[in-house]
Structure 1
């Protein structure tokens, strides 16, 4: 069954949080950070859009965005110091796709939808260099590595969308 790609609503808070937690570093996944329902709710209430992929009624993918003014997390600040980019750029991520849905072009569909909503402005993202699968997936979508930074003894690459 093909995925439905749409903008997230507050009704998606719990399933998005569950997807993120299941793929967090604390659970053996590659996502950097912690993901409570309160944090996800706050992200969905921002002015920048969040895009979800739905398969058989279940959230199986999510891609967040934020404006530069909302960039308060330490890794986002470190990324902007390493590569400030264009003054009107936006922050891409986090992005997460359910392990059972990877390789099915969901990342491409999420990115395409979000980039269209951002009117061609530059997006900036960071990925832990210990996650080469994600780095390569984003490179396949034409996103180059433009900088690197270290935070809490972890190396990250900065890419543009």
Structure 2
């Protein structure tokens, strides 16, 4: 596999895929070549970025960094007014379901609720927006940047 040159764009790539943003709270943040290349010494014109990104990602997962961040982000989101509004909305929907069909099984009610959430784009967009807001806060960068730099430098030293 041929090494790829460093990219020179000025910001992180945007995620357009609904699948990626839908599961962002359940999966650890993944680092792009852009983020890792910010830590790479620019004197080396060709670096196997994909390999370094994969190794850094693996090491961050192994040391529990992603889990710590995920727990903190989840706590912040749970404390937000958005969650309270969504809980109220869901409670109203559950009450509506219970009143309209008293002979439904627990599994049927759960399936209808999953369908409701899955088809409620506003709710999913609100959750995704709140998650992105939390992940873009300074404390996340302050936690990750030093660790990423350390691990990237180690990978570069090992590859020389």
Question: Same fold by TM-score, threshold 0.5 exceeded?
Answer: no
Q: Which has the higher contact order (CA 8 A, sep 6+)?
A: 2
Q: Which protein is richer in helix relative to its size? A: 2
Smaller-chain TM-score range? Answer: under 0.3
TM-score normalized with structure 1 length: 0.24
Q: For the pair shown, which has the larger CA radius of gyration, 1 or 2? A: 2
**TM-score, normalization by structure 2:** 0.24
